[in-house]
Amino acid sequence: MVTIKNKDGNPVSENKYKINASNGTLTVKKLDITLEAISDTKPYDGKALVNDKVKAPALAAGHKYQGVKLNVYDAKGNLIKNGAKEVGTYTKKITEVHIVDAKGNEVTANYNITLVDGKLVITNSSKNDSKSPKTGDDSKPVLYIILIAASVILLAVIGVFLAMQSRRKKMLQPEPPVDGEYFEFEEVGDDWQEAAQPVEEEPLTPPDSWNPDETWKDLGKELDKAPDEGIDPLPEEPVHKPKH
C-alpha cells in the first residue's frame, strides 16, 4: 500500500494520483574466503611429518569454523593415511570445511571458499642437516684431520726433546786440554770431576842480572870436574832378590 501526504503530513486524495507498483529484488552474495594449507619441511628421521596448520580468514559476525579436514598425497596422487615418513615431496590438501553460526547451524553455504594446497617435504638428512653431528662415513674427513694434527704435534715434541738431550750430553762431555795446559782434578766420592778452571804453568823469567856468556863458562867448568871433585853421583838402589 502506498500513501501520499502533503507538506503538513495529511493524506491527500488518491484520486489525484495514479500509482503503478512493481516488485524489486534483494540479493545477498556469498562471502569470499580463502583457506591455505601451511607448508612444512624437515630432514628424514623415520617419523611422520605432522602439520595440521591452516591459514584461514575471519568469518561473518557470529560465525566460526567447526572443522577443517586435511589429507596428504604422494607424488602419484595416492592418499598417505599414516603421515609422510619417507624422503620426498607430498601435497597437503584441505578436503572439507564446516562453518556454523552461534546456534550451531551449518552456514558453510553462505561462503565462497577457495582452497590452496600446501607442500610437505622430507629431505635427506645426510645432505641437508648441516648442524647435526657427523657420524659414520661423514665423520672420517674430520677424524683424519685430527689424527694428522696430533701426529705433527707429537713429532715436534719429540724433535725438541731429542735436541735438548743432545745439547745436554754435549755440555756434560769435557773438552780436550789445550797444548801447554793441564787440568787439576778433585775427588768427590767415588767419581772424579774436572775442575772448573785449567791451571796454567807460570813462565820462567830469568833474573835481571843474568848473563848468558858467564852462565855457559860456569857450566863448562862444572862439566870438566871429576865425579869426586864436587859432583855427587846418584846413589844406587838396592836390588832385592826373590826368595825361593
- Cα 172 to Cα 88, 158, 168: the distances in Å are 75, 21, 6
For the chain, give the percent of residues with pLDDT over 70.
61
Mean pLDDT confidence for 195-202: 53
Could you give the CA distance from residue 148 to residue 146 in angstroms, rounded to a whole number?
6
Mean pLDDT score across all residues of the chain? 77
What are the boundaries of each domain within the chain? 29-126
Mean pLDDT confidence for 214-239: 57
Whole-model pTM: value is 0.46
Q: Which phi and psi angles does 124 have, rounded to 5°? A: -75, 120
pLDDT digits (tens, 9 = 90+) for 39-53: 999 999 999 999 999
Query: Which CATH architecture group holds 29-126?
Result: Roll (3.10)
- Give residue 214's pLDDT band: very low, low, confident or very high (50, 70, 90): low
DSSP summary character for residue 174:
P
pLDDT digits (tens, 9 = 90+) for 166-196: 777 666 655 555 554 444 444 444 444 444 4
